[in-house]
Amino acid sequence: MVEKNYYVCTGCGMLCDDIEVESEKNTVNKVYTACRVGVAHMKDGKESAAFRVDKKPVDEAAAISEAAAILKNAKNPLIFGLGSSSSEAQELAIELARKTNATLDDASSFSLGKVIEALLNNKFKVCTLDDVRNKADVSIFWGTDPSDSHPRQLSKHAYFPRGTEKQRGWEEERTAICIDVRKSHTAKICGNYFFQIPPGGDAEFIDAIIAALAGKLPKTSYNFPPKRILELANILKGAKFGVVFVGLGLVYSLNNIEPLIRLMNALNEKANFHLVPMVRQYNMLGFNEKLFKETGYVNSVKFEDGTVKHGPEYSIVESLKAKTVDAALIVGSDLFSILPGSIAKNLREIPMIVIDPCETLTSRNAKVYISTAIGGVESGGSAVRMDGVKVDFKPAVETKRPSDEAVLKEIMEAL
């Protein structure tokens, strides 16, 4: 019998909760409402499980027992990833890190971590995506291309839709602005409101906007036309409900986020502006929130006999570079594809446990590989959306593969 139901898509940090799915015999056949990324994600399930030790197939119990032995024998294991795991699995991973005196980090340490930490320390005014849909009249996409990374954002929240206070939607009542180094798909949608700046020119552009907001002549070393910046500042000053969507392009360009804090403060002296980080993995914010609640830090921590240390030396990049970790548990991250080869190669020198729904370059190099269910497709749980809203999700189909949560629980029990 064909089943039709609504599900949450875990394809990106937007966690769209209006996804209609038709499935039969534990296979997703049709996906409605989702974007192209979401459709591919929802159809990615596989019924069969894979467990390997030393590249040879084993049963689940043998894989768990080997994983536990690796962690038990390590003096300083590294636990990394978890942005694509349920909140329940993340809680277990933090507990596991405490128990094994591990270094614990996630992808935010080389992406949006600093923005998220400032946000959790109440340095920015925040809002939900529902607020954006209902109220926003000005949205700025800075160093981000949601048309590619979060494809439904403009249609569901930021530009096109009708909301309670924005009945006409679209450009009659909303202005979408893109600031970027290249003419992305989002930049093309923003038309005349696309401001192309040179790579590394973001901090200067922020200062120019702040000057223009204060009625001064905005200047940049790259001679961006002052008239256009003054026009931009006028739009921003008139915003009744503005949002800045912060992407990696902006974060990578700034040495620190102090200019961004200054910009948000300046905008809020003249208008009403909020910040939303463009979180890519569906539950990275959930991990950052949990770790922050427990330790006061969003990433790069080292547990040691009941104490917590924090610093860049405990990030994945620095700990692998300095070879301070002697085993690794990687959950849902293809580090061999993400990290520079000169750093990733150090993972080959230590025993590596990989828990991942997908076969990746990293899983193929693992001492222990455990294939897990895809959250939201094959297993249920909860997550924190990119705007901080908690979302519960259920599986669309069944699988023989265990969830991340189940695997981490078993490893913990076997320690």
Residues in contact with ligand SF4 by CB under 6 A are: 9, 11-12, 14-16, 34-35, 37-38, 150-152
Nearest approach in angstroms of CB 336 to ligand SF4 is: 24
Nearest approach in angstroms of CB 48 to ligand SF4 is: 25
**Which segments within 339-414 are labelled E, that is strand?**
352-356, 368-371, 381-384, 390-393
Q: Which is nearer to ligand SF4, 37 or 338 (CB)?
A: 37
> Alpha-carbon Rg of the chain, whole angstroms?
22
Residues present in the chain in total: 415
Nearest approach in angstroms of CB 179 to ligand SF4 is: 22
Q: Which is nearer to ligand SF4, 143 or 146 (CB)?
A: 146
Q: Which is nearer to ligand SF4, 21 or 368 (CB)?
A: 21
Nearest approach in angstroms of CB 297 to ligand SF4 is: 28
Nearest approach in angstroms of CB 296 to ligand SF4 is: 30
Q: Which is nearer to ligand SF4, 186 or 315 (CB)?
A: 186
Q: Which is nearer to ligand SF4, 135 or 150 (CB)?
A: 150
Nearest approach in angstroms of CB 128 to ligand SF4 is: 15
**Which segments within 298-360 are labelled E, that is strand?**
301-304, 307-310, 327-331, 352-356
Q: Which is nearer to ligand SF4, 21 or 209 (CB)?
A: 21
What one-character DSSP code corresponds to residue 258?
A: H
Reference 169, options 180, 179, 182, 154; nearest CA is 154
Reference 148, options 280, 242, 258, 270; nearest CA is 280
Q: Which is nearer to ligand SF4, 319 or 333 (CB)?
A: 333
> 10 Å Cβ neighbour count for 68?
19
DSSP string computed for 212-239: HHTTSPP--TT---HHHHHHHHHHHHT-
Nearest approach in angstroms of CB 151 to ligand SF4 is: 5
What is the C-alpha separation between 121 and 373, in angstroms, rounded?
34
Nearest approach in angstroms of CB 207 to ligand SF4 is: 33
Q: Which is nearer to ligand SF4, 15 or 187 (CB)?
A: 15
Q: Which is nearer to ligand SF4, 159 or 297 (CB)?
A: 159
Q: Which is nearer to ligand SF4, 12 or 330 (CB)?
A: 12
